[in-house]
Amino acid sequence: MDYSFEIHGHENILATHRSTIEFTKDSHLTRNGDCIVGVRAGFSLAGLQKFLALKRVKITIRAGGFTDSFTAIPNKSFGSSHEMVMRIGEFASERTFAVRAEKAARNIDRKVIAALAGGGRAEVIVSRA
């Protein structure tokens, strides 16, 4: 069971946040959004809901020929069709797709981040861990 979607890079992607990773459908990004790894995210809420009952999911990001991945525990209360947030901690809101993530934005491979900060695209794959 895999689900994939595309995210786009942006010149303001920093990916330096210590506790979260976010994909957003917004097309613009300021430097304040340091947890955002991709904009114009192509996910659908319906596509992600089938993973909420799993004990753990794996999220893989492929950009510029480089790949990084991490696992996390899905949040059964996830319900955002606009933002997908993964957190190292256990705080969960409607925007939180998963908690207890193994990585935050600052831990993502810098080659993947460089490809996205350069305006590239990435494939995100959500799968059973």
pTM (2 d.p.): 0.95
- Model pLDDT for residues 40-67, shown as the tens digit of each residue: 999 999 999 999 999 999 999 999 999 9
Which amino acid is present at 101?
A: A
- Model pLDDT for residues 23-40, shown as the tens digit of each residue: 999 998 888 889 999 999
Here the tokens at position 85 are: 């947030």
Statement: residue 112 has pLDDT above 90: yes
CATH number for the segment(s) 2-128? 2.60.120.630
For the chain, the domains span: 2-128
In order, the DSSP letters of 63-100 are: ETTEEEEEEEEE-TT---SSEEEEESSS---TTEEEES
- Model pLDDT for residues 72-110, shown as the tens digit of each residue: 999 999 999 999 999 999 999 999 999 999 999 999 999
Is residue 36 within 8 A of residue 104, CB to CB? The reply is no
The DSSP code for 39 is B
